[in-house]
Amino acid sequence: MSSSPSTDDSGALLGPADIRELAAALGVRPTKQRGQNFVIDANTVRRIVRTAEVRPDDVVVEVGPGLGSLTLALLEAADRVTAVEIDDVLAAALPSTIAARLPGRADRFALVHSDAMQVTELPGPPPTALVANLPYNVAVPVLLHMLARFPSIERTLVMVQAEVADRLAAAPGNKVYGVPSVKAAWYAEVKRAGSIGRNVFWPAPNVDSGLVSLVRRSEPIDTTATREEVFAVVDAAFAQRRKTLRAALAGWAGSAAAAEAALVAAGISPQARGESLTVDEFVAIAENKQG
């Protein structure tokens, strides 16, 4: 039987002084190259855990745990947490931070020292939730990789750059609707779940952040096309987003005439543009590709 998560406000979470002290001891300076901005506000990580609706039976995967601010809050609320960290110094330090601050939960924590884009399996039971402050420069590819690789992830809450949050949650017809919006919608119902100010980070980024909630579809989209086939249509449609689909999909279909035939068969106007289509309409186009 698993031990129940701690619910007391034990002071296990990291504050600004703790973060700077840890960073100084490790000789860590957050790097732009890896899009690192450490959360230094305990109330913010509590809010993320609450918004993610982390349950006592959840197995949470976290990408880019950094110094462990969010990791500790997740570990207090979930059954177990697996963190994926690419940075050598941060990965080496995290287990001892967990052991020092939440000793009663340390056996519920696992670390995978790897690039998240290369992760194909995780230790322990399959993850049920993904909760992460994603590095800005790789947020979308990492999110899509994790959703594709781990179908057991039912709920996701990620903190990303506000602009990326808007893009992920955009609906057809919105000017920022694009490839990330459609691909995220393939897996899940996506919505904005709040905003995060700049002052809760160290260093403070020069952009605002947003929370995005993704609840996986209870049933995958019913289609004879593969995900790769559907995503190829999406990529082609938005590669030249000002063009009509007849023109934009010419390369994908083999010719403009073949693109038109697939569009007509799918019940979509050849004069339409990618930004007006739902994920189901992209699926229909993929299914109707000739030859």
Residues 81 and 222: their CA atoms lie apart, in Å, by 32
Q: Is 260 annotated as a binding residue?
A: no
d(CA 166, CA 176): 7
Does 267 belong to an annotated binding site?
no
206 assigned to a ligand binding site: no
Which residue is associated with the tokens 């519920």? 108
Bridge pairing between strands 201-202 and 129-133: unpaired
Distance CA 209, CA 135 (A): 11
37 annotated among ligand-binding-site residues = yes
Residue 96, class by beta-carbon neighbours within 10 Å (0-12 exposed, 13-18 middle, 19+ buried)?
exposed
Could you tell me the CA-to-CA distances from 36 to 27, 112, 133, 260 in Å, in that order?
15, 18, 9, 45
* Nearest Cα residue to 260 out of 269, 275, 252, 281: 269
The length of the chain is 291
Residue 235 CB partners (closer than 8 Å, separation 6+):
179
Q: Is 133 annotated as a binding residue?
A: yes
Q: β-strand 209-216 against 188-196: which pairing, if any?
A: antiparallel
Sign of CA dihedral 277, 280, 284, 285: positive
Contact 267, 284 (CB under 8 A): yes
d(C-alpha 274, C-alpha 283), whole Å = 12
182 in a known ligand binding site: no
Element (H, E) at 191: strand 188-196
* 271/138 Cα distance (integer angstroms): 33
The binding site comprises: 37, 39, 64, 85, 115, 133
The binding site for S-adenosyl-L-methionine comprises: 37, 39, 64, 85, 115, 133
